[in-house]
Structure 1
């Protein structure tokens, strides 16, 4: 439920946005579907719709619920359940047990082990460190998105600076996408963030030389 055009800031819905969407859907008999593929279990365990205090008819989530195993789920209101019962559809991997077992295990860990809190802590650590580095190198950056789903760009250097920064980081063992949001995961550690910051400090210096 966040907007992210390539090489642009992540945009979160403004207050009242989903109220307007819900109202428009109800008035026009349209199903309100929330795509929660990216944000699922990064904002709130119950779903991003709970985080944004809205009530979609259907929510779609994917491999995030199974720690990367291939699985997708659509869940929704009782009305949608009744409609789904009237449709027959099949799939090759419906009976793949491993992704379902992985999902059950992952969901239990997310629910009981403070995963979202850990992601936010590490995301804040990354954000604070990189913004401090950018300032120390005299490089203007724009940081956007939730703590666990951040993105950074260079207003002055544009896409070329983002590509240089990301490419330089990759050469040093850290993958930071130049035009897609990043993901902070519960599998990361504080040591991972510290190592990342060691690399990004070098990358800011490289970008500074490029854009002046």
Structure 2
């Protein structure tokens, strides 16, 4: 044996053989002076293996019997557990709803890069307008009081003529509608005129210091 296992000492070898003999893995005999060891026959090994497997099964059965069985819940306890789970689900849904709303609000807000881009555009526009204002102040032609009064008179005269024509047209249109069987809409389609509202014309502000009133034209009776 020492020649077969040169790396194992004699003492360790004897302990290993005795342990294998005690476990029934090999045959062993005590002669009083020494121990004899030899390999067991194959049929004896099979019997030992079957015996060991039966012992293992018995151990497994005993261990299974010792396992704690789950506690059976009553219908009332199950109902309470279901209600608790429903309440928990409702809370989670509410939390999810709040987080979704916050996420939507945050996504609508501008990012830092977008805000910085808008600031740059406004700064550039402000700089250009400031330079334009400085240029206008330097090259501006002063308007005398006489020039100002002349412009006001021209404005007043133009507005007066415009209001006269507007009133005259309204007067003529009313007379035609009274003496015809056509509606204003139909007559408008035939003549093809456009109103101030349609072309975007607004009433010109009256700048006349005397605040003259718009002349009123009386309808002609036929």
Task: Answer yes or no: same fold by TM over 0.5.
Answer: no
**TM-score, with length taken from structure 2:** 0.21
Specify which structure has the bigger relative contact order, considering alpha-carbon pairs within 8 angstroms and separated by 6 or more residues.
Answer: 1
Greater share of strand: 1
**TM-score, with length taken from structure 1:** 0.21
Greater share of helix: 2
Q: In terms of Rg, which structure is larger?
A: 2
